[in-house]
Amino acid sequence: MPFAELSGLVAALCWTISSLMAPNLIQRFGTMRFNTVRIVIASSILLAICLITQRFNTTLWQHAEIIMLSGLLGIFIGDTMLFTAVHRLGPRRTGVLFATNAPMSILLGWLFLDENLSFNQLFACGLVLIGVVIAILFGRRASLHAWEQTKGKLSIGILLALGAALGQACGALLSKPALVDGADPIAVSAIRVGTGALALVLAYGLFYRHKQAEDTIPFGQLTRFDFMRVAALATIGMVIGMSVLVWGVGNANVGIVTTLSAIVPVLILPGLWITTGQRPAFGAWIGAIFVVTGAALLILASN
């Protein structure tokens, strides 16, 4: 079903937009406070949608424990690591490391869900990942924008981004059985994000509330516009992007959907050009050609 595989591309676009919106907000809020506010807003929207449209059913509750575990791994741990990495490495370098969730998902799907990919599909996945790597490695010029500079140890940022990728891959894998059995994708997202929100509120209240970085803005000085921007980011990246991805995982091969969602780093390049005024290098566009070609072959191979 090609339309299901395309969900990965829609999710990638949503995550690209939210990644470009995030750095300045993380600077103002602090990583943990930003992520907590973002996920609480997203979970509130998703729960409201589910209650109004009556999306909760018995199938969902039969898989509730696994879905909640999916939320802890993919949202609480994975998303926290992801945006911490964005703060340390910037959106572009974090994006290429996070793109490793695609091969991780393919491996996990093969190990635990007996999902097999044809040679053509594997070749297409390889083109996508090669294109992503080329776009990132050769996607910057000599002059460095603040988003290209490393905060703290580079190795810590790399480990955080890879941990986020593994959390995302595990979360997607754990949510699939409920979706295959007929649970509503938006309801599954609501339980996942709600679980992540509860865990983040507890962690923030118990451990992080008094440990904000010196350059973050005190809570009382944050403006209404700051919270509106976080709400917009939460709606685009989590409510729309994650729900679309969950739907795709339930209706198509996990590896294919997550591979297509891995084109975020390439989509970020024109976004960074617009945002920072620095045109990406020639190698970035070569990488984009690989990614577009691989994505097209992946859709054709799925027919």
Per-residue confidence at 144, pLDDT binned at 50, 70, 90? Answer: low
Give the model's pLDDT for residue 1: 47
Give the model's pLDDT for residue 191: 94
Alpha helices in the chain (DSSP H): 2-5, 7-29, 31-53, 58-62, 64-71, 80-89, 91-98, 101-112, 119-137, 154-180, 185-203, 224-234, 243-251, 254-261, 264-276, 282-301
Give the model's pLDDT for residue 2: 59
Q: pLDDT tens, 249-284?
A: 777 777 677 777 777 767 777 777 777 677 777 777
Q: pLDDT tens, 14-70?
A: 888 887 888 888 888 888 888 899 999 999 999 999 999 988 888 889 999 999 999
Could you identify the residue written with the tokens 């990583």?
31
Residue 187 Cα to chain centre, angstroms: 18
- Amino acid residing at 237: G
Could you identify the residue written with the tokens 């009382």?
220
Q: Are 2 and 251 in contact (CB under 8 A)?
A: no
Per-residue confidence at 213, pLDDT binned at 50, 70, 90? Answer: low
Per-residue confidence at 293, pLDDT binned at 50, 70, 90? Answer: confident
CA distances from 64 to 43, 68, 69, 75, 79 (A): 16, 6, 9, 15, 20
CA dist., res. 57 & res. 107, Å (int): 31
* Higher per-residue confidence, 111 vs 238: 238
Q: Does the predicted model carry a pTM greater than 0.85?
A: no
Q: Are 176 and 247 in contact (CB under 8 A)?
A: no
CA dist., res. 177 & res. 250, Å (int): 8
Q: pLDDT tens, 105-132?
A: 777 877 777 777 778 878 887 887 787 7
